[in-house]
Structure 1
Amino acid sequence: MSSRTLDGTALESLRTTFTGTLLTPGEPGYEDSRTLFNAMIDRRPALIAQCRTEDDVAAAIGFGRQMDWEIAVRGGGHGVAGTCTTQGGLMVDLRHLNTVSVDPATRTARVGGGATMADLDAATQPHRLATTGGRVSTTGVGGFLLGGGSGWLDRTYGLACDNLLGADLITADGSKIHTDAADEPDLFWALHGGGGNFGAVTSFTLQLHPLAALTAALLVWRPQDGPEAVRAYRDLLTDAPREVGGGFLYFTAPDEPYVPGDLAGSLACLALVTYTGPEQEAREVIEPLTRLHPAGQMITEMPYAQLQSMLDDPPGYRNYWSAEHLHALPDEAVDVFCDNASEMIVPSPSQHVLFPQGGAVRDDPHHYPIPWRHAPWTVHPFGLWSDPADDDRAIHWARTLLTELHPWTSGSVYLNFIGQEGHDRLLAAYGPHNYQRLTEIKARYDPDNTFHLNHNIPPASHN
């Protein structure tokens, strides 16, 4: 891409029709607007277009192409690789497009392309409805869903993309397109895991589900008790009903009532079990874990929106994430997972996570481009730290874990959980057939690869 300087006349022309805010370096609000979740990303767009309407998005994209600039599309800004920004180009900022409207009769929600999970949950909670969302409230709905969308409720309601009923997007040539199972069906298929490769999505229509009760159990053990606890958690989730979800993680224990005082600020392990039902039923289901006498625990019904924000990741840290799907989790793999936790940076917000899949994730009948849905387990080293001197150590910890678990990996990967790890990982995420089909769809909707700041799928003619 060219690094042409900003044309003041062209910018003033854009301002005449643009209803949002246009920010250039040095203007009030610019610095805050360019800041991302991952503090390792420090890029300065030549222009930030804070859009308020679909027309704003189309105008901004047209301006970026006129200037021959690299174009980035920002939703939540939570992705580890920082692909929602650019150095010297255009950031199309969707965060003001965050309105969520709920239709309780049809159990659907229309969600703005810049909405976060907090926006979605706040709108659905009063109706006792929910759909699968990210595991923290600050995650953007758009990037999360377009990458597939694994969350606390996925074993019950499927992946986030399984609940996508329709989408509206602006393509690289400024066209406004609606897609669903009947209209533009190939594009609709591609949005189920293909990421932001095909345009800037300005709204989603999502299927919601009744959620009368949600129980969360947080069970804390000391690190030396981790292997036994993980094995019990594995055995429980292997045959658990769809109502059961959650994750097992090593983390720096917080100063909370459910954590023994001597563990606060130290390495601990946590089983977070979610149950889409009342507390008494949940207690019966998780009895194999509570009989291990965790050092601390909290078991209670709570609103889904509260669960979504309980483990919110603090912004401003340096980040490195990666992931692998596992086809099996024998005792030997459990030992590798637990032993590697000692290499985490403690204290820090880092998490060393094991997520279950199965249930509705595995059984969904659709043939979307996400073959990783059939793996029973996902391991996710999620590194956050503050000192640049710890960069090598944190990255080494994550990579070592995945290397040592290689005998049990499925070969596929959930792209939302990783940064830019090369073309082979992209192929692994989709499989050869799905990848080829995605490149062909890309060639129809973005032949110039304008939307390349993502886990990029190049147009077929570019392969």
Structure 2
Amino acid sequence: MTAEVTGTTGGQAPGTQPEGRHRPAAAIAVTGADRQYADLVSGLNQRYTAAPEAIRLATSTEQVVGVVQEAVRRGKRLSVRSSGHCYEDFVYHPDVQIILDMSGMRNISYDPRLNAIAIESGATNLQAYQTTYPRWGVVAPTGFCYSVAMGGHVSGGAWGPLCRTHGLVVDHLYAVEVVVVDAAGRARAVVATREEDDPHRDLWWAHTGGGGGNFGVVTRYWFRSPGASGRDPRGLLPRPPAELLVNAVSWPWAELGRADFHRLAQNYAEWHVANSSPDSPQRALISQLVLNHRSAGQIGMVALVDASVPDAEQILSDYLKQLGDGVGVAPGAMTAAMGELPALPRFAQARRLPWLHAVRMLGTTNSVLNDPTLRAEYKSSYMRAAFPDGHLEALYRHLTRDDLSNPNLNVLLTSYGGRINAVDPAATAAPHRGAAFKMLWQAFWNDPADDDRYIGWARDCYREVYADTGGVPVPGDVTDGCYVNYPDIDLGDPRFNTSSVPWHDLYYKENYPRLQQVKKRWDPRNVFRHAQSVTLPDA
């Protein structure tokens, strides 16, 4: 199925316009003359602030088409905001003249035309969960962070707490509506599906991991799992477990030596490598190990297990046993917030929680990520194998540095694999289908005077961990590149990436040339661009 529209799809069939309908109002414009302007020119990371001529707040596809057409006609640099979570300055860049704000497009509904659940790009993870689950008992398996919106999240591949049992969210993406600009400069909305006979299928494929800000403006996604049958929305997407078994523990830095640290991190890696196959019985478990800087006082770990599997308690018990094997320090309660996780002292002994309760608790109760003065630096990698000794030594060295003291410096290890790895790397634009776990470097602070100190910490740690491969996690037997939804401008800087592998191959691997062809077809004027956008093949 395929369709094009120049206005809304709304509740109408694509390409139709209700008889007698008045022309819709234009998207609201906020300029420097408006008091709310200062609140709309930056996102989560306060390192980046823009000074656009206007922020345009859209509430419909027609309005998005209008804003994009205006930007093209006037030759204005455009960027797009869904929820403001981009880790770099791709949205809030000094050169941007119009910011198209999609946060008002939050509708979630069952669409009988496409027999799929439609979610507009401004809807957040929590809004999606709190709509689809109570209403139909199903979810698109999106991310942990409650306030991340669908727009950029889904287009970058999107993983979350159900990824090991149900794969990435893009593995359930049926269709996408995108406002694109053709070679003549005409803006229009296109609906592209995964149907093999859809002439627009390449545009759908590009949004299954090709990253945001590359091809057009996503206005909505439609979700239906492959193989789902019938027309009842209760059967179109995965059903999350009714309950989760939740456990949170920590290890005190004061008692951890180098050997204990090495053993703990390696145990995490080895368990995930051994249990990363698509059919592993242990795919019911997902966990995050937060390797905090020593000034935090603790290293923490949160594990979630599908409590509906018959051996849920045993899976957790075996996991904890392996995690602590050879570590000379017993775990205790996790009494401090860590990275994206809240303090969870009540969960030192595993407890059962209803699924939505657990998701809300883990996603919304961390004061660090809800701080509007937050400044941050991030880096990422995928891991296919256990840590080489050099990786562990570099991590230990930088997490125990005594020339800085910030409890909000950490390296987060997160479960991957399972059903993610059942999909061919070329079937979607998300190519990292052999990883066992992933890593995220996070540095959080508030004072601009500390920028160089904490950015430098992240850069130094990352570069030394991957010193043997040019300072970056080159795809190979051990590492497998980087996650595009954790963008890192340093990957394209020869001062920090001394490998022969360009930034786009770290994100997209062998899929990049195909993404360039999609770019050529759907954005031949390069309207949608940023510092790491997909380039035209002849650029």
Category of TM-score, reference length = shorter chain:
0.7 to 0.9
Give the SS at the match of 1:351.
strand
1:270 aligned partner: 300
2:290 aligned partner: 249
Task: Map Cα deviations across residues 96-137 of structure 1 (whole Å, 9 max, x no partner).
Answer: 001222589x99531111111121111123143223222211
Give the SS at the match of 2:283.
coil
Q: Measure the CA separation in 2 of the matches of 1:102 and 1:17.
A: 24
Indicate which of 245, 251, 258 corresponds to 1:221.
251
2:268 aligned partner: 233
Q: Measure the CA separation in 2 of the matches of 1:400 and 1:422.
A: 13
* 1:370 maps onto 2:430 in alignment: yes
* 1:361 maps onto 2:390 in alignment: no
1:35 aligned partner: 42
Alpha-carbon spacing, 1:268–1:279, altered in 2? closer, same or farther (3 Å): farther
Unaligned runs of 5+ in 2: 1-22, 225-236, 276-281, 325-329, 334-347, 476-480, 493-501
Q: Measure the CA separation in 2 of the matches of 1:429 and 1:24.
A: 35
* Residues 350 and 382 in structure 1, CA contact (< 8 A), matched pair in contact too: yes
Indicate which of 197, 209, 213 corresponds to 2:238.
209
Q: Which moved more, 1:63-72 or 1:340-349?
A: 340-349
Q: Measure the CA separation in 2 of the matches of 1:392 and 1:28.
A: 31
Matched AA of 1:233: Y
Task: Report 1:75-224 matches (<5 A).
Answer: 75-87=82-94, 89-102=97-110, 108-126=116-134, 127-172=136-181, 173-182=186-195, 183=198, 184-196=200-212, 197-207=214-224, 208-211=237-240, 212-223=242-253, 224=256
Matched AA of 2:156: G
Task: Report 1:380-395 matches (<5 A).
Answer: 380-395=440-455
Matched AA of 2:178: L
2:336 aligned partner: none
Task: Map Cα deviations across residues 77-111 of structure 1 (whole Å, 9 max, x no partner).
Answer: 1011131234350011100001222589x995311
Task: Map Cα deviations across residues 138-193 of structure 1 (whole Å, 9 max, x no partner).
Answer: 11222111111122221111112222111111112321100111221111111111
Alpha-carbon spacing, 1:18–1:346, altered in 2? closer, same or farther (3 Å): farther
Q: Which moved more, 1:36-45 or 1:328-337?
A: 328-337
- Report the TM-score when normalising by structure 1: 0.86
Q: Measure the CA separation in 1 of the matches of 2:111 and 2:350.
A: 32
1:256 aligned partner: none
Q: Measure the CA separation in 2 of the matches of 1:276 and 1:78.
A: 29
Give the SS at the match of 1:383.
strand
Give the SS at the match of 2:400.
helix
Matched AA of 1:426: H
Q: Measure the CA separation in 1 of the matches of 2:464 and 2:287.
A: 24
Alpha-carbon spacing, 1:365–1:440, altered in 2? closer, same or farther (3 Å): closer
Alpha-carbon spacing, 1:120–1:68, altered in 2? closer, same or farther (3 Å): same
Indicate which of 278, 286, 295 corresponds to 2:332.
295
* Residues 141 and 163 in structure 2, CA contact (< 8 A), matched pair in contact too: yes
* Residues 250 and 300 in structure 2, CA contact (< 8 A), matched pair in contact too: yes
Percent identity over the alignment?
21
Q: Measure the CA separation in 1 of the matches of 2:349 and 2:375.
A: 30
Q: Measure the CA separation in 1 of the matches of 2:301 and 2:375.
A: 25
* 1:448 maps onto 2:525 in alignment: yes
2:512 aligned partner: 435
Alpha-carbon spacing, 1:18–1:30, altered in 2? closer, same or farther (3 Å): farther
Q: Measure the CA separation in 1 of the matches of 2:375 and 2:102.
A: 24
Shift in Å, 1:343: 4.2
Q: Measure the CA separation in 1 of the matches of 2:400 and 2:487.
A: 21
* Residues 296 and 408 in structure 2, CA contact (< 8 A), matched pair in contact too: no
Q: Measure the CA separation in 1 of the matches of 2:484 and 2:432.
A: 10
Task: Report 1:5-84 matches (<5 A).
Answer: 17-84=24-91
Task: Map Cα deviations across residues 257-311 of structure 1 (whole Å, 9 max, x no partner).
Answer: xxxxxxxx83311112122234984331122454544111252233343233345
Matched AA of 2:296: S
Task: Map Cα deviations across residues 413-437 of structure 1 (whole Å, 9 max, x no partner).
Answer: 1111133235421232222x42111
* 1:309 maps onto 2:364 in alignment: yes
Shift in Å, 1:335: 4.3
Q: Measure the CA separation in 2 of the matches of 1:237 and 1:325.
A: 12
Give the SS at the match of 2:76.
coil
* 1:326 maps onto 2:383 in alignment: yes
* Residues 340 and 397 in structure 1, CA contact (< 8 A), matched pair in contact too: yes
* Residues 324 and 402 in structure 1, CA contact (< 8 A), matched pair in contact too: no
Aligned residue pair count:
434
* Residues 474 and 506 in structure 2, CA contact (< 8 A), matched pair in contact too: no
Alpha-carbon spacing, 1:311–1:141, altered in 2? closer, same or farther (3 Å): farther
Alpha-carbon spacing, 1:187–1:93, altered in 2? closer, same or farther (3 Å): same
Matched AA of 1:443: K
Give the SS at the match of 1:91.
strand
Alpha-carbon spacing, 1:234–1:288, altered in 2? closer, same or farther (3 Å): farther
Shift in Å, 1:17: 4.8
* Residues 229 and 289 in structure 1, CA contact (< 8 A), matched pair in contact too: no
Q: Which moved more, 1:33-42 or 1:404-413?
A: 404-413
Q: Measure the CA separation in 2 of the matches of 1:250 and 1:376.
A: 18
Alpha-carbon spacing, 1:458–1:18, altered in 2? closer, same or farther (3 Å): farther
Give the SS at the match of 2:266.
helix
Shift in Å, 1:384: 1.1
* 1:415 maps onto 2:484 in alignment: yes
Q: Measure the CA separation in 2 of the matches of 1:150 and 1:454.
A: 24
Alpha-carbon spacing, 1:366–1:329, altered in 2? closer, same or farther (3 Å): closer
Alpha-carbon spacing, 1:356–1:95, altered in 2? closer, same or farther (3 Å): same
Aligned CA RMSD, in angstroms, stands at 2.7
Give the SS at the match of 1:210.
coil
